[in-house]
Amino acid sequence: MKKIDLHIHTNYSDGLYSPEEVVQLAIERGYDVISITDHDNIDGFLQVKDYAADQGITLIPGVEISTVHRNRDVHILAYNFDLENAALLDLMKRIYDSRYGRAETIIQKLNERGIKIDIEKVKSYAGRNNYLGRPHIARAMIEAGYCSDKYEVFDNHIGEHCYAYVPKYAPSSEKAIKTIQEAGGVSILAHPYTMGDDRLIYELIAYGIDGLEVFYAKSNDETVYHYNEIAQENNLIRTGGSDFHGEGYDLEIFGHYTAPESVLAELKRGSYE
Ligand code: AMP
Ligand code: FE
Ligand code: FE
Ligand code: ZN
């Protein structure tokens, strides 16, 4: 049986490990097929494309795109797209480029509330290509002793309903789905349970989303069952992954988790049987 993980971050977005380290770790932990799905860029994937092949591990082209639907932050995974498609690369670059000023605004808002973290410090945690995300701000706040873990930071300071939340530019989910498909790729709703409301999922299905990340490592049997039903009823392909970022709990999941082998055939076909 093949060991598979189709949702992994590196330090080219908000993960802790470099793409090379991720590939090494995946080999040590017995994976056969993985996908590096950094947020809004494929630079980490490109970095180790050949290295992974040399090491005998299958690396599926992937990315996790930040989108917005009804004012909600919706993550859409894309797989097997044309790596040189200009529209898709532009879409990612636009999101990516908006992050810098946005991080500065978040830090300003924190500063106003007496949380004295410094943009330079946050930048020192940034991804290899200067990717700045809320997790980097969270790390700086934990390091400075303002919070004990990232959940505390998101719940009280920078989560979607908090005083220091600042949205970044993100395309509509509908536009992202179309752009991925026009680039020959497959679009998948990441961690569907985080949507909270199935009506939103049906709206994405109406936009033509290709699949759901049914086998998400951090969800429970009930949610897997639930989204599996929705996928089957709507002829959607099913994928799965650990959403590895490299912090404590993630390191435990990575290696124990595998997606069922059927995800490979469904991805390849680009449709559910
Ligand atoms: P950003 O793209 O900068 O808005 O940051 C989004 C990232 O922050 C997500 O991909 C997760 O890695 C992380 N994140 C978002 N919400 C939470 C949360 N409530 N708790 C922990 N991490 C979160
Ligand atoms: Fe992330
Ligand atoms: Fe995500
Ligand atoms: Zn992710």
Task: Summarize pLDDT for 57-101 with one digit per residue, the tens.
Answer: 999 999 999 999 999 999 999 999 999 999 999 999 999 899 989
Mean pLDDT (the chain, rounded) = 95
- Contacts for 84 with CB less than 8 Å, ≥ 6 apart: none
- Specify whether the CB–CB gap between 79 and 60 falls below 8 A: yes
* Residues facing 58 on adjacent strands: 33
**What is the DSSP code (8-state) at residue 155?**
I
Ligand closest to 37 (CA) is 4
pLDDT at 273: 47
pTM: 0.95
Residue whose Cα lies nearest atom 17 of ligand 1: it is: 154
**pLDDT confidence of residue 271:** 53
pLDDT at 255 over 70: yes
Judge whether residue 54 has pLDDT over 50: yes
For residue 62, count other CB atoms closer than 10 A to its CB: 26
pLDDT band, very low/low/confident/very high, at 174 (cuts 50, 70, 90): very high
Q: How many CA atoms, within 13 angstroms, populate the side-chain half-sphere of residue 208?
A: 12
pLDDT in tens, 125-137: 887 888 999 999 9
Measured by CA distance, the residue closest to atom 12 of ligand 1 is 135
Q: Between β-strands 33-36 and 58-59, what pairing exists: parallel, antiparallel or unpaired?
A: parallel
Question: What gap in Å lies between CA 28 and CA 186, rounded to an integer?
Answer: 29
Q: How far is the CA of 223 from the centre of ligand 2 (A)?
A: 21
pLDDT in tens, 95-153: 989 998 999 999 999 999 999 999 999 988 887 888 999 999 999 999 999 999 999 99
Q: Which of 43, 35, 98 is nearest to 66 (CA)?
A: 98
pLDDT of amino acid 103: 95
Q: Domain spans of the chain?
A: 4-91+184-267
Ligand 1, pocket-test mutation among 134, 148, 160, 218, most atoms within 8 A of CB: 134
Kindly state the average pLDDT of the residues 212-226.
96
Rg (alpha carbons) of the chain, rounded to whole number: 18
CA–CA–CA angle 98, 208, 75 (5° rounding):
35
Q: What is the pLDDT of residue 239?
A: 98
pLDDT at 247 over 90: no
Residue 64 vs residues 14, 108, 189, 206, 273: alpha-carbon distances, Å: 12, 27, 9, 20, 24
Q: What is the arrangement of strands in the sheet containing 62-69, beginning at the earlier edge strand?
A: 62-69, 72-79, 186-189, 211-216, 237-241
Residue 268 has pLDDT above 80, yes or no: yes
pLDDT of residue 184: 96
20: exposed, middle or buried (C-beta count within 10 Å: 0-12, 13-18, 19+)?
Answer: middle
Query: In terms of CATH, what superfamily is 4-91+184-267?
Result: Metal-dependent hydrolases (3.20.20.140)
